[in-house]
């Protein structure tokens, strides 16, 4: 399987850097744009044709996507962080809607899930077992040292890391990213899995993550999805002007 076959312009001789990429959050627990529906889950479009996670409900994913000017059939690749229904629930319908789309899972997905995908779309499936460049300036981490993979984009101001739930610890994911790309981390966007931990040390865990991010030099944060409102408030307070509000409809040119 050719990992590098989208953004084909980037491979022309003499092409120095891929065109700027736009991030569009399609699916999130919160909506930032009137008309977009919020729902527990996360999905973000990278550039024109790479989707990171699908959210749970395909009809909602497609509806938000179309409202943001994206046709599901135009996608060429989808990478999924982990098999949680809030991140992978829309995958099978997406595969039906996007006839040539390739799928990037990893070996820590449940074997039954992988077998199901392989049976139907085996020729389009890649299992990512280590840090891999998907296209110029776009990487997927593979599931080590955690149970899920993150997406990494080299933006103009540094690396942007997209997480699904970032379990068990976002700092571990970022440390792994830095082993492969020793470059400044500009922004972390995604779920940090702190919602529901209110009575189980959420605040301590959030403070630990914030400290870890600071140690790694993470410049900006955009926690959303399963981070939960209480923990999001702690990040907002800690990061001040460098806190980025993220929800469905969020867009950023990187």
**Which residues lie near Fe ion (CB under 5 A)?**
165, 191, 193, 226
User: Shortest Cβ distance from residue 226 to Fe ion (Å)?
Assistant: 3
Min dist CB 64 to Fe ion, Å, is: 19
Residues of the chain by 3-state class (helix, strand, coil), percent to 5:
35, 25, 45
Backbone angles phi, psi at 130, to 5 degrees: -155, 170
CB nearer Fe ion, residue 35 or residue 110: 110
Least distance (Å) from Fe ion to the CB of residue 235? Answer: 15
| Residue nearer to Fe ion on the CB measure, 157 or 198 | 198
Helix (H) or strand (E) holding 186: strand 185-191
The answer to whether 91 touches 103, Cβ cutoff 8 Å, is yes
Pairing mode, strands 138-140 and 132-135 = antiparallel
Separation between Cα atoms, residue 204 and residue 224, nearest integer Å: 18
Given a contact cutoff of 8 angstroms between Cβ atoms, the answer to whether 158 and 187 are in contact is: yes
Query: Which CB atom, from 80 or from 165, has the smaller least distance to Fe ion?
Result: 165
CB of 173 to Fe ion, least distance (A): 13
Q: What are phi and psi of 6, to 5 degrees?
A: -110, 170
Rounded to a whole number of angstroms, the minimum distance from the CB of residue 74 to Fe ion is 28
Chain centroid to CA 78: 10
CB closer to Fe ion out of 30 and 193: 193
Question: Which residue's CB is nearer to Fe ion, number 75 or number 209?
Answer: 209
């Amino acid at each position: 399987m050719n990992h590098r076959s989208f953004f084909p312009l980037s491979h022309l001789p003499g092409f120095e850097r891929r065109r700027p990429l736009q991030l569009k959050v399609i699916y999130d627990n919160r909506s930032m744009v009137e008309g977009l529906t919020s729902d527990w889950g996360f999905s973000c479009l990278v550039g024109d044709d790479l989707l990171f996670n699908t959210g749970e409900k395909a009809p909602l994913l497609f509806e938000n996507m179309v409202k943001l000017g994206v046709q599901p059939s135009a996608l060429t690749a989808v990478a999924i962080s982990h098999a949680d229904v809030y991140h992978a629930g829309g995958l099978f319908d997406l595969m039906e809607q996007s006839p040539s789309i390739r799928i990037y899972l990893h070996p820590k997905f449940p074997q039954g899930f992988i077998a199901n995908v392989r049976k139907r779309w085996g020729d389009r499936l890649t299992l990512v077992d280590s840090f891999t460049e998907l296209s110029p300036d776009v990487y997927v981490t593979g599931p080590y040292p955690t149970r899920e993979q993150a997406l990494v984009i080299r933006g103009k101001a540094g690396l942007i890391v997209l997480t699904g739930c970032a379990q068990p610890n976002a700092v571990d994911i970022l440390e792994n990213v830095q082993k492969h790309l020793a470059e400044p981390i500009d922004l972390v966007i995604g779920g940090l899995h702190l919602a529901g931990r209110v009575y189980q040390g959420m605040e301590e865990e959030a403070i630990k993550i914030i400290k870890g991010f600071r140690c790694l030099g993470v410049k900006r944060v955009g926690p959303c999805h399963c981070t939960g409102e209480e923990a999001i408030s702690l990040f907002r307070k800690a990061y001040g002007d460098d806190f980025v509000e993220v929800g469905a409809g969020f867009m950023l040119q990187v």
